[in-house]
Chain A
């Protein structure tokens, strides 16, 4: 058997198909279409990519149309009315007492299983594992650990496989379109990169600041890192742009900043922006949905003081360490 990272995506696809079918039983057609389209992209994504590599763009264009359809349907998703009863509460309480710490075990299999598999993969010399990159290996390890944890959870709680689907559907319903936002934003970031949005912003910033003033350059660099991270939702996207636009030519070239300190502190300044933006959906919007906060920006609000304090400290650190 050849292990490939695509299997993890196919597994996601199968899970999405199951959730889509569950919604069909509930006659919630917008949800059926939403999770169904997403399932198709997960299951057929590799076919589309290999077709594009052979010069046939049609499957990828269909996927693009699917993405637009997902955006249009997203507004029609509604939370299912909660069917929690007092009996459910009582049952959960009894079950919690009966199972005790055993309940933690399957939950811990996910992180520790991932860790063990990740560490073990470099020693596995079969099934083409050797050809996997580091990120792919971690993904595969996570997939394996999740499968293992699901079986453990089914065994410990004496549930049926159908219950696993029902519970997944319940959580997916709570996440709703927020589950998709990280993917959509990564796509937007890639589109911005292709269309040159980053360079345009860097040029505007460089054109707007008085380059002779060291302080103005530091402030523009930090503000640019934060602002661009807020827009892109990702400090990794902001870093090369702001470095090429302001960091290298002005701070290092003209004002002789220490490159190592400026790089590390510049990136961390970008992270302060990550704490502040809804565009970093997997860190800020998805947890708000997961924790069922009424305010989708609740997590960001909780992070504002930390982010602003750290931003101020970073500015002081850049000022005092990068120009010794």
Chain B
């Protein structure tokens, strides 16, 4: 054991230390990563010209990771034309589509598609930012019309986490996917021959566990939203009724949910970065909507 230790060059490990220290000190991550790569390479005895060539070659080789760039014109144009407002609007109109059902449904679809190898069909730029996040926010607003910015950010983050969970713990079951082939290839190099279907099978229990855990968390998040919506806790029904009465005073009661829905998009991501509370309607306008939310799930 110690003979091996003596032969190894441990100095490049300082590159790892640079990464840890850089993130701990909250330095710019891009700069930290470049410095860590340079430190690790220089300590392993690479000369400066070779270091530059190494960084350049490896960076060029990873260009495929920035191809999400090509989705930006489409997403940007659609957002400009009101994609996020429409997505939020649509969810706000559909009573049966609750917060938890939306996220669990997305998780199920994402996980099944990943199992079939269709990983590129969804993702953070393609589906989470323009569709899932504003829909989740709108669904949360149906429960609690006064969700504050901190809660909105938690909801958006949870939407992104749901996409990641579905992707990671679905793709491992697809036998033609990299993970299974990597495992099989590694074993083959070391003289252990395995059927890829065998490896994929062992990923199934964790995939099911991931689905259950994330779904339970979505339901718990929904329950917290309900509790916040009716501060007294179990008073949800009467609270909603009181709001409903309030609503009747408004002349545009009929248009309540509609205009609310449009407002949902406004309070949604991006647009409210500068202004914390752009919601044009007073909370009383939500009476009908939040009331129905309470009644559908007492």
User: Do B206 and A317 have beta carbons less than 8 Å apart?
Assistant: yes
Q: Does B122 contact A (CB under 8 A)?
A: yes
**Interface residues in B128-156 (C-beta closer than 8 Å to A):** 128-131, 133, 153-154, 156
Which partner residue on chain A sits nearest B77 by CB separation?
A153
Which partner residue on chain B sits nearest A93 by CB separation?
B262
A300 to B71, CA, bound (A): 24
Q: Does B161 contact A (CB under 8 A)?
A: yes
Known: A164-B73, A167-B73, A168-B76. A200 touches B12 (CB 8 A): yes
Among candidates B28, B77, B198, B214, residue contacting A154 with C-beta atoms closer than 8 Å: B77
Q: Which residues of B contact A48 (CB under 8 A)?
A: 56-57, 60
Q: Which residues of B contact A192 (CB under 8 A)?
A: 12, 15-16, 40
Q: How large is the interface on B (under 10, 10 to 19, 20 to 34, 35 or more residues)?
A: 35 or more
Q: Would you mind naming 22 contact pairs between A and B with Cβ atoms under 8 Å apart?
A: A61-B52, A71-B28, A74-B31, A109-B74, A110-B74, A111-B118, A139-B64, A150-B74, A154-B77, A179-B68, A184-B34, A191-B55, A192-B12, A260-B195, A260-B202, A265-B206, A274-B168, A288-B160, A298-B154, A299-B157, A303-B161, A314-B206
Q: How large is the interface on A (under 10, 10 to 19, 20 to 34, 35 or more residues)?
A: 35 or more
User: Do B34 and A287 have beta carbons less than 8 Å apart?
Assistant: no
Q: Which residues of B contact A243 (CB under 8 A)?
A: 186
User: Do A70 and B30 have beta carbons less than 8 Å apart?
Assistant: yes
User: Do B76 and A167 have beta carbons less than 8 Å apart?
Assistant: yes
Among candidates B9, B67, B262, B266, residue contacting A8 with C-beta atoms closer than 8 Å: B67
User: Do A89 and B266 have beta carbons less than 8 Å apart?
Assistant: yes
Known: A92-B265, A107-B74. A288 touches B217 (CB 8 A): no
Given pairs A97-B262, A278-B23, A290-B128, 15 additional interface contacts (CB within 8 A) = A38-B66, A48-B57, A64-B53, A66-B56, A72-B34, A96-B89, A97-B82, A99-B82, A106-B78, A107-B78, A110-B74, A147-B70, A195-B40, A268-B206, A303-B164
**Interface residues in A84-105 (C-beta closer than 8 Å to B):** 84, 88-89, 92-97, 99-101, 103-104
User: Do B183 and A72 have beta carbons less than 8 Å apart?
Assistant: no
Choose the segment among A25-33, A169-177, A214-222 that binds chain B (4+ C-beta atoms closer than 8 Å): A169-177
